[in-house]
Structure 1
Amino acid sequence: MHSLSLQISSTIQPTLSPRLQRAVRLLQMSSMDFSQVVRDALDNNPFLEPDENAVADLQSADDVSPAVDGSAESPGWGAEPIARARMVDGEGVFDTLAAHTSLADHLLGQLNLLPLSERDWTLAAAVIESLDDDGYLRTPLQEVGALVPMEPPVEPEELGVALRRVQSLEPAGVAARDVIECLRLQLPAIDCGRKRELATRILRDCVQCLASRDMQSVARRLGVTVAEADAACAAIRHLDPRPGWRFGSPSVQYVTPDVIVRKVRGQWTAMLNEAVVPRVRLNRSYAEMFRRHRSAEHTELGAHLQEARWTVRNVEQRFSTILAVAQAILKRQHRFLAYGAMAMKPLALREIAQEVGVHESTVSRVTNNKFMATPVGVYELKYFFSRGLATASGGECSPTAIRGLMQEMFAAESRANPLSDVEIARQLAFQGLKVARRTVTKYRQQMKIEPAERRRAVSA
């Protein structure tokens, strides 16, 4: 007979309060998103008000930004805060920028200059309006015609004429149905008749060899020298496979740095970027008035006051932590500013956490979506962290430094005999860096550099 027994065990699991969970989420946010949260709080909480001295107070708090020795100068690195739009004759600086012309407007402007009937103009305009951002017509012509109800109905021949009419406009290559047709439409731009003839044959018969840069096969198929084949392929590669990209507003992802690194009196120092720090403080007049007249009926105002105090503390703690972490990173990686990627040292989250006095997970959240502007570029804080790779001397080297060495090798290699991944690994080993060939391949791919056979150039 089986006996039933009841066992009680207790385990202690750490739980985060809702407010602490919220603080963790806010710490992970980018500074732009965090600023929006604070602006919303300013709009909705009567106990919060703007504070013009917020940044100065944070910069000087607890002396979190000591200078760091460095040897590289930074000429031209201005002292004004980043991302502050100046006014020009009473106008914002962005108000004076020229508006971008869209591809459709550019093509319709040319179409309006042609002596066309209303029917022909309408069909050509329908083709133009069907182009994508690359300048390609990826919609079947029959569907384009269906979008323009006409009497009598549109004939396929009319659509073909409308397509060819648009393809004759500038930029060359527009309204192509695929990349090969796009390049063929641009072949008249090749001045040399011989190169133009070979380029036409290459696009017709040797596209795969062109893509793989196999000049030997191209030359063999065309019955020409390797040098002639290479010259024709080079002319093709100078054509534009996306002619539509020249028009319209460019899609640019802007990054606003959280920390700015400058050299002050010969030493590197980090400071917060004023543009991203919310300017907020507790309205003490309202807080004192509430304290004097507080009653059980004012519970909602009491919650607002508690939330306002928490928001102010959260802003201070967040940016003080960001600045402290950035300064600790700068202390260990300041040689990177002087000597570039090859001077990057291995760095673990644990090292920064111990110096700043926070948990590793806090450092991880601080370095996510936070950026540091330096005289040599803008970098995400987590860019400075990497595991160390052992060297022959018993030391460690960061992957960033190895990629920097590889970049120098690629820049100095012979175009006729580019370095293979095996040869790069051998040269790194000669310098005391034991890097496997597959690791070299991975780093090369991360650097968006093609294999040796595709980097090889044929000498004339």
Structure 2
Amino acid sequence: MKASLNLRFSQNLALTPQLQQSIKLLQLSAIELEQELIEAAEQNPLIEYESATEAAAAEPIQQLSHRASSSTKNTTEWDDNDDKFAKVAVQETLLDHLLKQIRVMRLSTHEKALIGLLAGNLDHKGYLTIPVEELAHDYAQYMDPEDGSAVAQIERALAHLQHLHPSGVGARDLGECLKIQLENFPHQEQSDSVWMHAHQICVDYLELVGSRDWGRLKKILKCSDEQLDQVIRLIKSLNHNPACEFGADVDITLIPDVIVKNIKGKWQVSLNPEAMPKISIHEEYAKVIKESKGQEDIGGIQQKLQEARWLVKNVLQRSETILKVAKAIVDRQQNFFNHGEIAMRPLVLREIADTLGMHESTISRVTTQKYMATPSGCYEFKYFFGSQVSTDSGGSVSSTAIRALIKQLVEEENPQKPLSDTQIVDLLAAKSFVVARRTIAKYRESLRIPAVHLRRK
């Protein structure tokens, strides 16, 4: 993610221009890289650049939808007669909107970097569904040892994030999302009692609103029908999806960075030609400069030649790094590609970093805004990383797999007798998965599955 660049600091450390450029290019999406190279070519006549769209003659592959749902019946072969897949339209996320606000906050660079780190981990609705403890563990090496525990630093960063626009962003569940909005709500527009009752419901009794248990709510709040009606109207006026206003009007073209195919029973990863720009040094100019070596460097042309060489090298290195990381991910998620989400294994950035001999921050940059086209959908690299859930046997399973199991159980339930969260806990326990009821509720909400009383027919 973009803010991760500043997670480690040293007053004595000065990155070379080449390394700064390498880091910058690595964090860019394919679309952003294209724009960066267009600008570079405009400023440096020694750079020859042709967009990937014009240069590539990509092989035909199947048309896919962005983040299409996985199926246990995944296609294992690509049809070479299918239409070429090069780009897919997706909606703009709110990450850039948040980063703009973070950059102007009056905080230390380290604090702003941590807030940006959290912003990069928000889900499609603007919620932070990854537990704070897990984030503190995964990013412990980036913490300032003199600034308290890792958990405390993440908590403080989250508090700052939750004060940004849109209101409710960074919430860990629906109740907290609504509570944040209420606390940012202009009190003068509502009586103090209405606001206080709404706040109390969001913190402690939101499930009673879902079940429409008005009688119990009136008894708890000690209010009249009219007062309760005002409270409920206020709660319903709040936004349960903080990210909904982003991307409604602007479509961005997403270009997968790599293509994953099943060839003769083996999953193969290759770079997508549509995402690989064609950049080189203008040979005629370079030849003239070489012949004039030792003469006066008029207009800094020697420097421009060196800058062009750095850029070509760094673009190539970016492609190689993306391919290495993609191959490492696919190698570790074979079961996902063969059987779908239900077979996703736990995976953390550090595992890929250790395998490839790279820094974890490098893997973080590569897995953000980089996509792989697969037979079952187009996924951001970081989709394949997630927390783990323990099993009775002492093993672990990915939280993505648990979500898939929950979805499967709900799809197969009796509509007249839908499963409660507690019953889902018991069914998962029978499969040796130890999951708390609160966690089940959180995963269910992230899947947009209504509570049991709302599913009953």
Mapped contact 1:425–1:437 kept (Cα < 8 A) = yes
1:335 Cα deviation after fit: 1.6
Q: Tell me the TM-score normalized by structure 2.
A: 0.56
The match for 1:275 is 274
1:353 Cα deviation after fit: 1.4
1:283 Cα deviation after fit: 2.2
> Partners in 1 of 2:87 and 2:430 — Cα distance?
49
The match for 1:351 is 351
Q: Is 1:74 aligned to residue 73 of structure 2?
A: no
> Partners in 1 of 2:18 and 2:212 — Cα distance?
62
1:81 Cα deviation after fit: 4.9
Mapped contact 1:35–1:277 kept (Cα < 8 A) = no
Q: Which residue identity does 1:441 align to in structure 2?
A: A
| Equivalent residues in 2 for 1:299-448, closer than 5 Å | 300-448=300-448
Pair 1:308–1:455, CA change in 2 (3 A): same
Q: Which residue identity does 2:26 align to in structure 1?
A: L
The match for 2:218 is none
1:250 Cα deviation after fit: 7.4
Q: Which residue identity does 2:447 align to in structure 1?
A: M
Q: Which residue identity does 2:376 align to in structure 1?
A: V
The match for 2:175 is none
Pair 1:299–1:421, CA change in 2 (3 A): same
The match for 1:147 is none
Q: Tell me the TM-score normalized by structure 1.
A: 0.55
RMSD between aligned alpha carbons? 3.3
Higher radius of gyration, 1 or 2: 1
> Partners in 2 of 1:263 and 1:39 — Cα distance?
35
> Partners in 1 of 2:440 and 2:284 — Cα distance?
63
| Equivalent residues in 2 for 1:22-421, closer than 5 Å | 22-50=21-49, 73-76=76-79, 81-83=84-86, 212=210, 252=251, 254-294=253-293, 295-298=295-298, 300-421=300-421
Greater RCO (CA < 8 Å, at least 6 residues apart): 2
Q: Which residue identity does 2:28 align to in structure 1?
A: M
Mapped contact 1:51–1:281 kept (Cα < 8 A) = no
Structure 2: 5+ residue stretches without partners: 1-9, 58-73, 89-208, 216-247
Moved more, 380-389 or 360-369: 380-389
Pair 1:283–1:348, CA change in 2 (3 A): same
> Partners in 2 of 1:34 and 1:250 — Cα distance?
23
Q: Which residue identity does 2:303 align to in structure 1?
A: A
Deviation sequence 1:295-331 (CA, Å, 0-9, x none):
2242511121011001101110001100110011001
Q: Which residue identity does 1:283 align to in structure 2?
A: H
Q: Which residue identity does 1:76 align to in structure 2?
A: D
> Partners in 2 of 1:397 and 1:370 — Cα distance?
25
Aligned length: 281
Q: Which residue identity does 1:25 align to in structure 2?
A: K
The match for 1:134 is none
Mapped contact 2:342–2:400 kept (Cα < 8 A) = yes
Pair 1:216–1:388, CA change in 2 (3 A): closer
Pair 1:254–1:289, CA change in 2 (3 A): closer
User: What SS class does the counterpart of residue 296 from structure 1 fall into?
Assistant: coil
Q: Which residue identity does 1:452 align to in structure 2?
A: V
User: What SS class does the counterpart of residue 449 from structure 1 fall into?
Assistant: coil
> Partners in 2 of 1:20 and 1:80 — Cα distance?
39
Pair 1:15–1:422, CA change in 2 (3 A): farther
Mapped contact 1:42–1:280 kept (Cα < 8 A) = no
> Partners in 1 of 2:440 and 2:311 — Cα distance?
48
Mapped contact 1:368–1:382 kept (Cα < 8 A) = yes
Pair 1:16–1:297, CA change in 2 (3 A): closer
> Partners in 1 of 2:420 and 2:80 — Cα distance?
39
> Partners in 1 of 2:87 and 2:428 — Cα distance?
45
Pair 1:302–1:251, CA change in 2 (3 A): closer
1:30 Cα deviation after fit: 1.0
Q: Which residue identity does 1:82 align to in structure 2?
A: F
Q: Which residue identity does 1:448 align to in structure 2?
A: R
User: What SS class does the counterpart of residue 268 from structure 2 fall into?
Assistant: strand
